[in-house]
Structure 1
Amino acid sequence: MSDSEVHGTVGDGFEAVREEFARAVDPGSGAQLAVYAHGRRVVDLWSGDPVTGDTLTGVYSATKGAATVTVAVLVQDGALELDRPVAHHWPEFAAAGKDRITLRDVLTHRSGVIGVDGGLTADELADDEVIARRLARQRPYWRPGSAYGYGGFVTFAIVGEVVRRATGRSLREHFEERVRAPHGLDLHLGLPEALEDRYREVLPGVASPEELASFWADVPGPHSLTGIGYALNSTPPLDQVAFLNTRRVRALGQASGGGVGNARGLAGLYAAAVFGLDGRDPLLDPDTVGEFAMLHSTGRDLVTGEAGQYSLGFQAKGARYPFLSANAFGHNGSAGAESFADPLLGVAFGYTRRRFAFDWSYPEHDRLAAAVTSAARETSAQ
């Protein structure tokens, strides 16, 4: 892709980020990149027709970052306690040996509750309250606390039910009122009908028949822990591409993977949480940031293999990208979104793309994050 096909602006000292965006990003992906440095937007780029900086698309599990910021606000308020059992607020959840699972266990993927026997249909997966009712009866897939494994589509249905019972309001309502609306973020847990004209459908990945055959030969079966964690154990298995291209999913905005937004919204989320936006104080105080950025689950993930490493609700980005600070945190999404904050460096990063990679591999993440980090360090040193 040539630099002339890249649209948008960069601030002084971040010109190399634009150049790397032009080199690293597939022009057919429909990508956006936004970066804040110490609360000021310094990168705002996009490419690919018909994508603009305002375009909204499905961010999948990057949604978990928005949900976790909301939970962190409620913990900071004293409305939630991380080490209190889920069943304290939600007695039905105690069934089948889940009585001692805490909110911290759930947020760090240590609960063993990653799906249900027989699977959840796409229609059920659209609605967190339906998911929660099914999960209440489910026995964990491993002894809680003994290991960790990613629950891609269900984890925040548990969290949301705790929020609803503890506060009398939904996680989505708290996000809207405490996080999204005050900062005007283009990131939605429940996309309003009035914004549907800005949504662009997520597209499937493109690969040769040989590449696809090689990829699928190594994919675990639908009833393995990986299959259950990614909601592939239903009949038919979940079609991830179709999931957020369904209006009902976008309207309900389930908190594990149903969010809609853009790069500006993702970067703005982390800037608002850690550094403050538009003259506002940060949403989270340093102690809360420290608690939620702390590594909790390391080593092999029973669902994703070596791709895990979690802090509290977030992915531990300091473990993912060695050029970031140790306490960097955020969350990616399976269609190719990436987002994080590095509290020490002062950077908030948001990236989206409309097209899946057929193998869920996004090497541009490393290249763009490295370019942003290098520019941020150089400008800070001046």
Structure 2
Amino acid sequence: MAKLVDIQGYCDPRFSAVKEMFTENFESGSEVGASFAVTLGGEYVVDIWGGYSDKAETIPWERDTITNVYSTVKVMTALCALLLIDKGQLNIDSPVADYWPEFAQAGKDKIIVRWLLNHSAGLPGFDEHPTLEDMYDWERITHLLERQKPWWEPGTQSGYHMVTFGYLVGELIRRISGKSIGTFFRDEIATPLGADFHIGLAEKHDARVAELIPPPPMESPPVEPDSIIGRTLFNSPIIPAFSDRAWRAAEIPSSNGHGNARSLAKVGSLLACQGELKGMRLLSRATIDQAITEQFNGIDLVLGAPVRWGLGFGLANENLTYLNPHAFYWGGFGGSWLEVDPDAGMCFSYVMNKLEVEPGGDKRMLALRSALLSAMQQKK
């Protein structure tokens, strides 16, 4: 029997197939609560949500419901760095130690900023084993990274800096701006754009945070604990207690941003519109073009899959079909996703609370994406 669901929000009739697929995901039992948004030219053409914000399905997912999007927050972190690059305060080919002198320890004096942003610095994990509480302590983690030796020759290969990316880039931002990355993002991006997205969530927002529902256990392929993949996965706590207040409050800009599809699309639309939104320019087109220029193309040492890296973003590749070759994206554990196509002036995002981990990508997101791209092709 189909699961009845009331889908709320706005959907331009041109994208009715997207709303139908969103509904179908609920009716099939694949969703508990979710939101999906699309912008064209900075305007919402789809902004829909539905379902429940709790596992027991007693609390409706509302317009302002937010939840943790895991690694999709890396787009926001990269964007903060791009703002400093655009202002001439951060040079991607300068040594990191020029801005963060203590970083030069353990043979890292020649590592340049570019290699942090394109995941080639050789620092995807820790030789030590930080606890979850350590991850809440910014200075503790940045001191660990100062002492950490690279796991390969920096700049020669990419290896997804799953947890460390946010601390590495975030510390650069703190050293230059004098602000934590959560504060910098709020002041420089979220507030000007009116985006309800948070890196470090204030307690006053807890009542509208959707409960995350863990994915079912699945058999993972065997990984050698001493391999680069093994050390990245096992030497740092990736997935915390899902309702922990300390986790929400911490600024972990690789893993714990909170928002919904609307707020992700709001930020993404800045990139889709070449750095200018509603008459307000925050980024130059030249900086965006630099960010989506290919840095690496090949098998990532941590992901074990082919990735084309830009500066903080995954670039269009053969794994998926794209409308245009300059599209870029990133997603988070469990299924959240943000994709930008500057040639089409389009951005779309997907956020949900029922986490799924599937080889080849989240089927719910991929179905929505397929319906959207089909509609976009018909629009042409």
**Mapping for residues 85-96 of structure 1, pairs under 5 Å:** 85-96=95-106
Amino acid at match of 1:158: L
> 1:93-113 CA deviation, whole Å, 9 max, x = no partner?
111111111111011000001
User: Deviation at 1:326?
Assistant: 1.5
1:116 aligns with 2:137: no
Structure 1, unaligned runs of 5 or more? none
Residue of structure 2 in register with 1:18 after alignment: 19
Residue of structure 2 in register with 1:340 after alignment: 339
d(CA) in 2 for partners of 1:348, 1:128:
32
Identical columns (%): 33
d(CA) in 1 for partners of 2:345, 2:277:
15
Mean Cα displacement is larger for which, 1-10 or 146-155? 1-10
Among 11, 25, 34, the residue aligned to 2:37: 34
**Mapping for residues 174-185 of structure 1, pairs under 5 Å:** 174-185=184-195
Structure 2, unaligned runs of 5 or more? 54-60
> 1:2-49 CA deviation, whole Å, 9 max, x = no partner?
685433320131111111222346443422111111111011122322
User: Deviation at 1:126?
Assistant: 2.6
> 1:162-211 CA deviation, whole Å, 9 max, x = no partner?
1222232222222111100112211101112211111122111135xxxx
* Higher helix proportion: 1
Amino acid at match of 1:47: G
d(CA) in 2 for partners of 1:40, 1:34:
10
Are the aligned partners of 1:96 and 1:137 in contact in 2 as well (CA < 8 Å)? Answer: yes
Mean Cα displacement is larger for which, 13-22 or 55-64? 13-22
User: Deviation at 1:377?
Assistant: 3.5
SS of the equivalent of 2:309 reads: coil
Q: Mark the CA change 1:240 to 1:306 in structure 2 (over 3 Å): closer, same or farther.
A: same
Residue of structure 2 in register with 1:299 after alignment: 298
SS of the equivalent of 1:65 reads: helix
Amino acid at match of 1:108: N
Q: For the aligned residues, what is the CA RMSD? A: 2.1
Q: Mark the CA change 1:186 to 1:277 in structure 2 (over 3 Å): closer, same or farther.
A: farther
d(CA) in 2 for partners of 1:127, 1:66:
20
Among 131, 156, 170, the residue aligned to 2:166: 156
Residue of structure 1 in register with 2:329 after alignment: 330
Residue of structure 2 in register with 1:372 after alignment: 372
Are the aligned partners of 1:203 and 1:241 in contact in 2 as well (CA < 8 Å)? Answer: no
Residue of structure 1 in register with 2:260 after alignment: 262
Are the aligned partners of 2:36 and 2:49 in contact in 1 as well (CA < 8 Å)? Answer: yes
Output the TM-score relative to the length of structure 2.
0.90
Amino acid at match of 1:31: A
User: Deviation at 1:277?
Assistant: 7.8
Residue of structure 2 in register with 1:205 after alignment: 215
> 1:99-140 CA deviation, whole Å, 9 max, x = no partner?
111111011000001111132211122344322110110111
Amino acid at match of 1:58: N
d(CA) in 1 for partners of 2:222, 2:42:
41
SS of the equivalent of 1:309 reads: strand
Q: Mark the CA change 1:127 to 1:368 in structure 2 (over 3 Å): closer, same or farther.
A: farther
Are the aligned partners of 1:274 and 1:284 in contact in 2 as well (CA < 8 Å)? Answer: no
User: Deviation at 1:319?
Assistant: 5.1
Are the aligned partners of 1:44 and 1:53 in contact in 2 as well (CA < 8 Å)? Answer: no
